[in-house]
Structure 1
Protein backbone atom coordinates (compact mmCIF):
# COMPACT_ATOMS: atom_id res chain seq x y z
CA UNK A 1 0.00 0.00 0.00
CA UNK A 2 2.98 2.32 0.37
CA UNK A 3 3.20 2.37 -3.45
CA UNK A 4 -0.28 3.94 -3.58
CA UNK A 5 0.82 6.67 -1.18
CA UNK A 6 4.07 7.21 -3.11
CA UNK A 7 2.15 7.43 -6.38
CA UNK A 8 -0.26 9.95 -4.86
CA UNK A 9 2.69 12.06 -3.73
CA UNK A 10 4.18 11.87 -7.23
CA UNK A 11 0.90 13.05 -8.75
CA UNK A 12 0.68 15.88 -6.20
CA UNK A 13 4.23 16.93 -7.06
CA UNK A 14 3.21 17.13 -10.74
CA UNK A 15 0.10 19.10 -9.84
CA UNK A 16 2.03 21.57 -7.66
CA UNK A 17 4.68 21.98 -10.36
CA UNK A 18 2.02 22.57 -13.01
CA UNK A 19 0.07 25.15 -10.98
CA UNK A 20 3.34 26.89 -10.13
CA UNK A 21 4.37 26.99 -13.82
CA UNK A 22 1.30 28.76 -15.19
CA UNK A 23 0.37 32.39 -14.69
CA UNK A 24 -2.74 33.79 -13.04
CA UNK A 25 -4.46 34.53 -16.36
CA UNK A 26 -4.15 30.93 -17.51
CA UNK A 27 -5.26 29.69 -14.07
CA UNK A 28 -8.39 31.86 -14.06
CA UNK A 29 -9.47 31.94 -17.73
CA UNK A 30 -12.43 30.01 -19.08
CA UNK A 31 -11.82 28.72 -22.60
CA UNK A 32 -15.36 28.43 -23.91
CA UNK A 33 -16.69 26.56 -25.76
CA UNK A 34 -13.94 23.98 -25.12
CA UNK A 35 -14.27 24.08 -21.31
CA UNK A 36 -16.88 25.62 -19.02
CA UNK A 37 -14.54 25.39 -16.03
CA UNK A 38 -11.23 27.15 -15.57
CA UNK A 39 -8.10 25.44 -14.22
CA UNK A 40 -8.81 26.69 -10.70
CA UNK A 41 -12.25 25.08 -10.76
CA UNK A 42 -10.79 21.77 -11.99
CA UNK A 43 -8.27 21.96 -9.16
CA UNK A 44 -10.99 22.69 -6.60
CA UNK A 45 -12.88 19.62 -7.87
CA UNK A 46 -9.75 17.47 -7.42
CA UNK A 47 -9.28 18.79 -3.91
CA UNK A 48 -12.93 18.10 -3.01
CA UNK A 49 -12.13 14.39 -3.38
CA UNK A 50 -9.10 14.62 -1.09
CA UNK A 51 -11.03 16.72 1.42
CA UNK A 52 -13.63 13.94 1.55
CA UNK A 53 -10.85 11.47 2.39
CA UNK A 54 -9.44 13.80 5.04
CA UNK A 55 -12.90 14.26 6.62
CA UNK A 56 -13.19 10.46 6.84
CA UNK A 57 -10.85 10.55 9.84
CA UNK A 58 -13.82 12.02 11.74
CA UNK A 59 -16.78 10.75 9.71
CA UNK A 60 -17.85 7.16 9.18
CA UNK A 61 -18.65 7.68 5.49
CA UNK A 62 -16.60 9.30 2.74
CA UNK A 63 -19.09 11.64 1.07
CA UNK A 64 -17.90 12.61 -2.40
CA UNK A 65 -20.86 14.92 -2.96
CA UNK A 66 -19.70 17.62 -0.55
CA UNK A 67 -18.30 20.26 -2.90
CA UNK A 68 -16.86 23.62 -1.88
CA UNK A 69 -17.64 25.61 -5.03
CA UNK A 70 -16.79 29.29 -5.26
CA UNK A 71 -13.86 29.23 -2.82
CA UNK A 72 -10.82 31.53 -3.22
CA UNK A 73 -8.45 28.85 -4.53
CA UNK A 74 -10.57 28.62 -7.70
CA UNK A 75 -9.09 31.98 -8.70
CA UNK A 76 -6.03 32.37 -6.47
CA UNK A 77 -2.99 30.24 -7.31
CA UNK A 78 -1.26 31.14 -4.04
CA UNK A 79 -4.19 29.73 -2.04
CA UNK A 80 -4.16 26.69 -4.31
CA UNK A 81 -0.47 25.99 -3.71
CA UNK A 82 -0.92 26.34 0.06
CA UNK A 83 -3.84 23.89 0.02
CA UNK A 84 -1.97 21.46 -2.23
CA UNK A 85 1.04 21.48 0.10
CA UNK A 86 -1.20 20.94 3.13
CA UNK A 87 -2.84 17.91 1.53
CA UNK A 88 0.53 16.64 0.34
CA UNK A 89 1.76 16.78 3.94
CA UNK A 90 -1.33 14.83 5.05
CA UNK A 91 -0.51 12.16 2.45
CA UNK A 92 2.96 11.70 3.96
CA UNK A 93 1.38 10.85 7.32
CA UNK A 94 -0.82 8.00 6.10
CA UNK A 95 -0.04 4.60 7.57
CA UNK A 96 -0.60 1.01 6.41
CA UNK A 97 -3.44 0.81 8.94
CA UNK A 98 -5.08 3.84 7.32
CA UNK A 99 -4.74 2.30 3.88
CA UNK A 100 -6.24 -1.05 4.91
CA UNK A 101 -9.14 0.44 6.86
CA UNK A 102 -12.62 -0.50 5.65
CA UNK A 103 -14.73 2.52 4.78
CA UNK A 104 -18.05 3.34 3.17
CA UNK A 105 -18.49 5.90 0.41
CA UNK A 106 -21.58 7.85 -0.48
CA UNK A 107 -21.98 9.33 -3.93
CA UNK A 108 -24.72 10.46 -6.25
CA UNK A 109 -25.31 7.92 -9.01
CA UNK A 110 -28.08 9.44 -11.13
CA UNK A 111 -28.08 12.42 -13.47
CA UNK A 112 -31.81 13.06 -13.97
CA UNK A 113 -32.67 13.06 -10.25
CA UNK A 114 -30.89 13.09 -6.91
CA UNK A 115 -30.11 9.52 -5.94
CA UNK A 116 -27.15 8.44 -3.85
CA UNK A 117 -25.71 5.02 -3.14
CA UNK A 118 -23.41 3.74 -0.43
CA UNK A 119 -20.59 1.32 -1.23
CA UNK A 120 -18.14 -0.62 0.94
CA UNK A 121 -14.48 -0.20 0.05
CA UNK A 122 -11.09 0.45 1.62
CA UNK A 123 -9.37 3.73 2.29
CA UNK A 124 -6.42 2.62 0.12
CA UNK A 125 -8.74 1.92 -2.81
CA UNK A 126 -10.27 5.37 -2.46
CA UNK A 127 -6.86 7.04 -2.33
CA UNK A 128 -5.98 5.16 -5.53
CA UNK A 129 -9.22 6.49 -7.08
CA UNK A 130 -8.37 10.04 -5.96
CA UNK A 131 -4.92 9.80 -7.52
CA UNK A 132 -6.24 8.53 -10.86
CA UNK A 133 -9.01 11.14 -10.78
CA UNK A 134 -6.30 13.77 -10.27
CA UNK A 135 -4.33 12.48 -13.27
CA UNK A 136 -7.46 12.70 -15.45
CA UNK A 137 -8.18 16.29 -14.41
CA UNK A 138 -4.51 17.27 -14.66
CA UNK A 139 -4.59 16.12 -18.29
CA UNK A 140 -7.64 18.35 -18.85
CA UNK A 141 -5.96 21.29 -17.11
CA UNK A 142 -2.81 20.86 -19.22
CA UNK A 143 -4.97 20.83 -22.36
CA UNK A 144 -6.72 24.00 -21.23
CA UNK A 145 -3.39 25.69 -20.45
CA UNK A 146 -2.04 24.77 -23.88
CA UNK A 147 -5.15 26.19 -25.55
CA UNK A 148 -4.46 29.40 -23.63
CA UNK A 149 -0.84 29.59 -24.79
CA UNK A 150 1.15 27.62 -22.19
CA UNK A 151 4.08 26.04 -23.98
CA UNK A 152 5.93 23.91 -21.42
CA UNK A 153 6.84 20.38 -22.45
CA UNK A 154 6.00 17.82 -19.79
CA UNK A 155 4.42 14.49 -19.02
CA UNK A 156 1.80 15.85 -16.64
CA UNK A 157 -1.50 14.02 -16.59
CA UNK A 158 -0.29 10.70 -18.02
CA UNK A 159 -1.89 7.60 -16.52
CA UNK A 160 0.46 5.02 -14.96
CA UNK A 161 -0.27 2.33 -17.57
CA UNK A 162 0.28 4.85 -20.37
CA UNK A 163 3.56 6.00 -18.79
CA UNK A 164 4.72 2.36 -18.66
CA UNK A 165 3.77 1.86 -22.30
CA UNK A 166 5.64 5.00 -23.35
CA UNK A 167 8.76 3.95 -21.40
CA UNK A 168 8.65 0.51 -23.02
CA UNK A 169 8.26 2.05 -26.47
CA UNK A 170 11.18 4.39 -25.84
CA UNK A 171 13.32 1.49 -24.59
CA UNK A 172 12.48 -0.59 -27.66
CA UNK A 173 13.28 2.38 -29.91
CA UNK A 174 16.59 2.93 -28.12
CA UNK A 175 17.48 -0.75 -28.53
CA UNK A 176 16.52 -0.60 -32.20
CA UNK A 177 18.59 2.55 -32.74
CA UNK A 178 21.57 0.93 -30.99
CA UNK A 179 21.40 -2.11 -33.28
CA UNK A 180 21.21 0.04 -36.41
CA UNK A 181 24.24 2.20 -35.60
Structure 2
Protein backbone atom coordinates (compact mmCIF):
# COMPACT_ATOMS: atom_id res chain seq x y z
CA UNK A 1 0.00 0.00 0.00
CA UNK A 2 2.85 2.39 0.76
CA UNK A 3 4.13 2.17 -2.81
CA UNK A 4 0.65 2.85 -4.18
CA UNK A 5 0.20 5.87 -1.93
CA UNK A 6 3.53 7.17 -3.22
CA UNK A 7 2.28 6.74 -6.80
CA UNK A 8 -0.85 8.66 -5.87
CA UNK A 9 1.33 11.49 -4.57
CA UNK A 10 3.35 11.38 -7.79
CA UNK A 11 0.11 11.90 -9.72
CA UNK A 12 -0.85 14.83 -7.52
CA UNK A 13 2.63 16.35 -7.76
CA UNK A 14 2.45 16.06 -11.54
CA UNK A 15 -0.93 17.77 -11.63
CA UNK A 16 0.03 20.68 -9.39
CA UNK A 17 3.36 21.18 -11.16
CA UNK A 18 1.56 21.57 -14.50
CA UNK A 19 -0.98 24.11 -13.26
CA UNK A 20 -0.55 27.87 -13.23
CA UNK A 21 -1.09 29.54 -9.86
CA UNK A 22 -4.22 31.39 -11.03
CA UNK A 23 -5.79 28.19 -12.41
CA UNK A 24 -4.86 26.27 -9.27
CA UNK A 25 -6.77 28.70 -7.04
CA UNK A 26 -9.64 29.74 -9.34
CA UNK A 27 -13.20 28.69 -8.47
CA UNK A 28 -14.48 25.82 -10.62
CA UNK A 29 -18.27 26.09 -11.15
CA UNK A 30 -18.86 22.35 -11.60
CA UNK A 31 -17.17 21.81 -8.20
CA UNK A 32 -19.64 24.15 -6.46
CA UNK A 33 -17.08 26.91 -7.00
CA UNK A 34 -14.43 25.10 -4.98
CA UNK A 35 -10.97 25.39 -6.48
CA UNK A 36 -8.55 22.65 -7.45
CA UNK A 37 -6.39 23.89 -4.58
CA UNK A 38 -9.21 23.52 -2.05
CA UNK A 39 -9.68 19.88 -3.02
CA UNK A 40 -5.92 19.33 -2.83
CA UNK A 41 -5.81 20.91 0.63
CA UNK A 42 -8.61 18.63 1.75
CA UNK A 43 -6.84 15.53 0.41
CA UNK A 44 -3.57 16.48 2.07
CA UNK A 45 -5.14 17.28 5.43
CA UNK A 46 -6.10 13.66 6.03
CA UNK A 47 -2.52 12.55 5.47
CA UNK A 48 -1.26 15.46 7.59
CA UNK A 49 -3.50 14.30 10.45
CA UNK A 50 -1.77 10.92 10.32
CA UNK A 51 1.71 12.37 10.05
CA UNK A 52 1.09 14.73 12.95
CA UNK A 53 -0.87 12.29 15.14
CA UNK A 54 0.08 13.16 18.69
CA UNK A 55 -0.25 10.45 21.29
CA UNK A 56 -1.25 8.02 18.56
CA UNK A 57 -4.61 9.78 18.29
CA UNK A 58 -6.19 10.92 15.02
CA UNK A 59 -9.08 13.38 14.79
CA UNK A 60 -9.89 14.33 11.20
CA UNK A 61 -12.52 16.83 12.38
CA UNK A 62 -9.82 18.81 14.21
CA UNK A 63 -7.56 19.13 11.16
CA UNK A 64 -5.80 22.47 10.78
CA UNK A 65 -7.25 23.54 7.41
CA UNK A 66 -4.05 25.26 6.34
CA UNK A 67 -5.19 28.01 3.96
CA UNK A 68 -1.70 28.33 2.46
CA UNK A 69 -2.34 24.99 0.75
CA UNK A 70 -5.32 26.65 -0.98
CA UNK A 71 -3.59 29.86 -1.94
CA UNK A 72 0.04 28.98 -2.62
CA UNK A 73 0.85 26.40 -5.28
CA UNK A 74 4.47 26.17 -4.11
CA UNK A 75 3.39 25.49 -0.52
CA UNK A 76 1.19 22.68 -1.83
CA UNK A 77 4.07 21.20 -3.83
CA UNK A 78 6.31 21.36 -0.75
CA UNK A 79 3.69 19.65 1.43
CA UNK A 80 3.08 16.97 -1.22
CA UNK A 81 6.80 16.17 -1.28
CA UNK A 82 7.00 16.15 2.52
CA UNK A 83 4.05 13.78 2.83
CA UNK A 84 5.36 11.51 0.07
CA UNK A 85 8.67 11.22 1.95
CA UNK A 86 6.87 10.55 5.23
CA UNK A 87 4.71 7.84 3.66
CA UNK A 88 7.81 6.14 2.22
CA UNK A 89 9.22 5.87 5.74
CA UNK A 90 6.22 4.04 7.20
CA UNK A 91 7.41 0.47 7.51
CA UNK A 92 5.37 -0.82 10.43
CA UNK A 93 1.77 -0.60 11.47
CA UNK A 94 1.01 0.99 14.84
CA UNK A 95 -2.17 1.14 16.88
CA UNK A 96 -4.04 4.44 16.80
CA UNK A 97 -7.16 5.84 18.39
CA UNK A 98 -9.57 7.55 16.03
CA UNK A 99 -11.76 10.30 17.45
CA UNK A 100 -14.86 10.91 15.37
CA UNK A 101 -18.25 12.55 15.66
CA UNK A 102 -20.67 11.52 12.94
CA UNK A 103 -23.61 13.50 14.36
CA UNK A 104 -24.79 16.73 12.78
CA UNK A 105 -24.93 18.58 16.09
CA UNK A 106 -21.56 17.52 17.50
CA UNK A 107 -23.12 15.45 20.27
CA UNK A 108 -21.70 12.02 19.56
CA UNK A 109 -17.92 11.99 19.91
CA UNK A 110 -16.57 8.45 19.86
CA UNK A 111 -13.17 6.81 20.20
CA UNK A 112 -12.33 3.82 18.03
CA UNK A 113 -9.33 1.54 17.80
CA UNK A 114 -7.64 1.60 14.43
CA UNK A 115 -4.13 1.48 13.00
CA UNK A 116 -1.80 3.59 10.93
CA UNK A 117 -2.03 1.34 7.88
CA UNK A 118 -5.83 1.20 8.11
CA UNK A 119 -5.98 4.99 8.23
CA UNK A 120 -3.47 5.29 5.38
CA UNK A 121 -5.79 3.05 3.35
CA UNK A 122 -8.68 5.35 4.27
CA UNK A 123 -6.70 8.46 3.28
CA UNK A 124 -5.76 6.77 0.00
CA UNK A 125 -9.40 5.94 -0.83
CA UNK A 126 -10.55 9.38 0.31
CA UNK A 127 -7.97 10.94 -2.03
CA UNK A 128 -9.21 8.85 -4.97
CA UNK A 129 -12.72 10.17 -4.39
CA UNK A 130 -11.50 13.77 -4.49
CA UNK A 131 -9.22 13.05 -7.44
CA UNK A 132 -12.32 11.85 -9.32
CA UNK A 133 -13.95 15.19 -8.54
CA UNK A 134 -10.80 16.99 -9.65
CA UNK A 135 -10.91 15.04 -12.90
CA UNK A 136 -14.43 16.35 -13.57
CA UNK A 137 -13.48 19.91 -12.68
CA UNK A 138 -10.34 19.86 -14.78
CA UNK A 139 -12.14 18.37 -17.79
CA UNK A 140 -14.75 21.12 -17.55
CA UNK A 141 -12.54 24.11 -16.72
CA UNK A 142 -9.14 23.15 -18.18
CA UNK A 143 -9.78 20.75 -21.07
CA UNK A 144 -6.22 21.12 -22.40
CA UNK A 145 -4.78 19.88 -19.09
CA UNK A 146 -4.71 16.17 -19.85
CA UNK A 147 -4.74 13.61 -17.07
CA UNK A 148 -3.77 9.97 -17.01
CA UNK A 149 -6.85 7.88 -17.90
CA UNK A 150 -6.68 6.27 -14.44
CA UNK A 151 -6.41 9.54 -12.50
CA UNK A 152 -9.14 9.46 -9.85
CA UNK A 153 -10.13 5.87 -10.60
CA UNK A 154 -10.08 3.27 -7.83
CA UNK A 155 -7.62 0.40 -8.28
CA UNK A 156 -10.49 -2.12 -8.09
CA UNK A 157 -12.23 -0.33 -10.97
CA UNK A 158 -9.03 -0.34 -13.02
CA UNK A 159 -8.63 -4.08 -12.39
CA UNK A 160 -12.26 -4.71 -13.33
CA UNK A 161 -11.88 -2.73 -16.56
CA UNK A 162 -8.78 -4.73 -17.45
CA UNK A 163 -10.61 -7.98 -16.73
CA UNK A 164 -13.56 -6.93 -18.90
CA UNK A 165 -11.22 -5.91 -21.74
CA UNK A 166 -9.84 -9.42 -22.02
TM-score by length of 2: 0.89
1:9 aligns with 2:16: no
Structure of larger gyration radius: 1
* Aligned ranges 1:125-136 → 2 under 5 Å: 125-136=118-129
CA displacement 1:122-141 (0-9 Å, x = unmatched): 11111100111111111111
1:52 aligns with 2:49: yes
Unmatched segments (≥5 aa) in structure 1: 173-181
CA displacement 1:99-146 (0-9 Å, x = unmatched): 2x2111012211244532211111111110011111111111121122
CA distance in 2, matches of 1:127, 1:70: 20
SS of residue matched to 2:32: coil
Return structure 1 stretches of 4+ with deviation > 3 angstroms.
112-115
2:61 aligned residue: 65
Q: What is the total number of aligned residue pairs between the two structures? A: 164
Unmatched segments (≥5 aa) in structure 2: none
CA displacement 1:74-120 (0-9 Å, x = unmatched): 02111101100000000111112xx2x21110122112445322111
1:141 aligns with 2:137: no
| Preserved contact between residue 22 and residue 150 of structure 1 (Cα < 8 Å) | no
| TM-align CA RMSD | 1.7
| Preserved contact between residue 28 and residue 36 of structure 2 (Cα < 8 Å) | no
